[in-house]
A and B are shown apart, each in its own frame.
Chain A
Amino acid sequence: MKLLSSYIKEMKIAARGFYFYVELGIAIIMLLILLFAIAENPDSKSKEYLFNDLPDAMTDAFVEEDIEEGVARWADDAELTLKPIAFEITNEETGELASYNYDEEKIVTARVLEKVNTQTGALTGTTYILDNEEDMIRLSYAEQAIGATTSLDDTGRLRYKYYLQGYETDRMVDLLYVLHNEDPDVFAASFDSQQVRTLDTFGTLNSRQGLVPLFVAFAGSLMGFFIVMAYIFLDKDEGVIKAFAVTPSSVWKYLLSKTMVIMTTVVVSSSIITIPVMGGQPNYLLFYLFVITTTFAFATLGLLVASFSKSLTQAFGALFVLAIMLMLPAFSYFIPSFDPVWLRFFPTYPVLQGYKEILVVGGNVGYVLMYSGVFLVGGTLLFLLANIKFKKTLTV
């Protein structure tokens, strides 16, 4: 009963304060960003520069095939500015080095071919076809994009010269070599005959939906980590702690009521972000269970870190460094092929993956339940430790 009345009192105070509304305001801004600034299937910024030293009919034949298949389309010609620049190029086979130095700015016109995702209609890349090889090389260097020259040798065989930046892996370079080892028709026939089976055990999130776990995890769950200790120090500065010391309530009830205020705020803000974007797709029972357990765990972690500090500014530095480190698993979330084992030990890793499992159709419920349990148990242990520490420090 005391806990409940303490929680209600804290909620009333929070509702009168600035933080509660800023939190909701930021959730609304994030929602607006998701709805209006992030496309469901955004266009790719990927570029490549080509020079075809081939008869026009041959160039057109290559392109027409892609256009007929619907994977490419012509766009308006583009005017490109070539800035003064100097660089060197090494032939990887012979080691021959060539220097280029351009003092003048130059404007050139390029034909533009856009590559399209047949399912979503979004751009997957843009190819600029230039009339001059040197212009193509300048652009490839300046724009840090792949460049290529296609020509015919004396025997009438197609030759490809790729201009790479230099940081590409050996695997990538080997792939370019091997791609042009066999007759393109033989390769295309083999490619088309490959048997592909999809397990279809896991749905997908579009670009907009894919950002929801990130926003909810970092702006919601992880924020409790910051804010709970701000509440504690604010109470300390304003003498609330002194007043609290003469009441019959215990320290743990005070700490838990503060944590519950954070959990309530995060439940509201994460709902603002998630419901309009995801609609009825996720299992909301599971979603709120995960929001509550993860927020509880991070808020109690914040309590424990704060218990070692005398003031907010002192605690803030440590919390900030910790918060930045906790954001590292976002790299793995966005680049699934980058998933080192050590990154999985960061608590935010299962938080991000857990939200993803909840939002996606056919997500792994067992994973979410298991980590909800882990965060609940971990949060409880941290809470007990913070309680012991605060019993000694939260005094008159």
Chain B
Amino acid sequence: MLKKILRIFIRDIKSTKREQIALYIVFAPILLAVAITLFAPGLNDTTVNLALLKSDEPAHIEYMQQFAKVELYDDLEALETRVNKRDDVVAIAPKGDGYEIVLQGNENEIVQTYSTMLNSLYEIGATPEDTSATIMSFGKTVPPLKTMLVNMLVSLTVMLAGMLIALSIVTEKAENTINALNVTPLSQTGFVIGKSMTGGLVSLVSIVIALFITGYSGVNWLMVILVGVTSMLLSLIIGFVQGLASSDVIEAATNVKMIFLPIAGSIVGYELLSDKWQWTMYWSPFYWAYKANDMILSKTADWPTVLLCTGMVLVLTLAVFFIARPKIRKGLS
């Protein structure tokens, strides 16, 4: 049995290599991992962007540069043109004896408060020296935004595993190999395991490489693999069902969107819903996987919580499996 499963796996690797899709699926998360690594410093450095006049007091310009990104313009008209552009830039222009803060009107409230605060501090002559504040640091170097992006990348890679299975099954159906397999000694279970190994292995390799690239090599790898494998089980089951249910490639392509919806919904729910509304996402196994990965990547995970999250993923996956089993059996017959 094991030998036959391994043959299915090797055959799958060969055929996906021929189609190059496995390479793309490995390549996509790696490419994104590189992008995140390049992006992250810029994303973290988002205090406030100010536009000042070149003719402004050098002391004012220098003061603002300590606390904000500063752009300089020739005249008031140029300042207003800059403020009117799509991004959040606030102008501070001399007016009378003081300054005027010019806003577009659609900025985040914090941008307005921050720029007003900076100009107030300048006007009262406040400096970072002689302060009554002490800063204590936990010494963390990875911002949560980067952790969020890497976690999203892991979820995307899990989705890709399902996609790979769905497309592979559609191709098998088009080439009538599933019918041919029914007359071989290989059982349906063996076929399912063999095919799942390709998607699972390709995605796990991508996740590991992506975590190394983004600088998460110090995470608890046992936890990562545990959560990765359990959440991938679900993705693979969905991939199987969608592949078998799709009569042609266009249906399989459309179904990719359907896998995407619960994953994206779970991420948005976890990140945006306040604590009292988090329970509304408990139905989604992707939510539990995302939550576990969030704690693992931010190095605040403990085994009881990770096991609880993994357990929830497994229970919900089993529920999906038992619902989908008749469809899978029928599709493979």
Q: Which A residues lie at the B interface, using CB under 8 A? A: 17-19, 22-23, 26, 29, 33, 37, 42-45, 83-85, 87-93, 117, 123-124, 140-142, 144, 153, 157-167, 169, 171-182, 186-187, 190-191, 194-204, 219, 223, 226-227, 230-231, 233-234, 237, 311-314, 316-318, 320-321, 324-325, 328, 331-332, 335-340, 353, 356, 360
Contact = CB atoms under 8 A, between A and B. Distances in A.
A196 B27 CA distance: 49
Interface string B1-37: 0000000000000000001110111011001100100
B257 A223 contact: yes
Contacts, number: 287
B126 to A, nearest CB: 4
Interface of B: 19-21, 23-25, 27-28, 31-32, 35, 39, 42-49, 66-68, 80, 83-84, 86-88, 95, 98-109, 111-112, 116-121, 123-144, 156, 160, 163, 167, 171, 174, 247-251, 253-258, 261, 265, 269, 271-275, 298, 300, 302
Given A163-B138, A191-B120, A195-B101, A314 B21 contact: yes
A194 B80 contact: no
Contacts of B25: 317, 320
A200 B105 contact: yes
A195 B100 contact: yes
Given A17-B250, A177-B131, A324-B32, A187 B124 contact: yes
A207 B103 CA distance: 20
Given A317-B20, A338-B46, A331 B124 contact: no
Nearest to A360: B106
Contacts of B31: 321, 324-325
A89 B136 contact: yes
Contacts of A313: 19, 21, 167, 171, 249
Given A186-B124, A194-B101, A199-B83, A160 B249 contact: no
6 contacts: A45-B275, A88-B139, A162-B136, A181-B132, A197-B100, A313-B171
Contacts of A328: 35
A124 B134 CA distance: 25
Given A160-B134, A202-B105, A331 B43 contact: yes
Nearest to B295: A142
B138 A88 contact: yes
B252 to A, nearest CB: 8
B100 A144 contact: no
A190 B125 CA distance: 11
Contacts of B21: 313-314, 316-317
B102 to A, nearest CB: 5
Given A22-B258, A187-B124, A237-B249, A199 B134 contact: no
Contacts of A162: 133-136
Contact of A169 (B32, B47, B80, B86): B47
Contacts of B47: 169, 171-172, 175, 337
A338 B42 contact: yes
A86 to B, nearest CB: 11
A93 B274 contact: no
A181 B126 contact: yes
Given A90-B136, A159-B134, A197-B101, A19 B251 contact: yes
A89 B139 CA distance: 7
Given A162-B133, A182-B121, A233-B249, 11 more contacts: A161-B133, A164-B138, A165-B138, A165-B140, A179-B126, A181-B128, A195-B95, A202-B106, A314-B20, A331-B39, A336-B88
Q: Which 4 A-B pairs have the closest CB atoms?
A: A317-B24, A177-B128, A190-B120, A180-B133
Contacts of B126: 178-179, 181-182, 187
Nearest to B27: A321
B142 A93 contact: no
Nearest to B305: A83
A226 B112 contact: no
A353 B86 contact: yes
Nearest to A229: B253
A199 B80 contact: yes
Contacts of A26: 257-258, 261
A159 B136 CA distance: 13
B272 A42 contact: yes
A381 to B, nearest CB: 25
Contacts of A173: 135
A336 B86 contact: yes
B142 to A, nearest CB: 6
Contact of B46 (A18, A198, A335): A335
A282 to B, nearest CB: 16
A110 B212 CA distance: 39
A221 B91 CA distance: 35
Contacts of B32: 324
A196 B20 contact: no
- Indicate the member of B45, B125, B257 with the most A CB atoms within 10 Å: B257
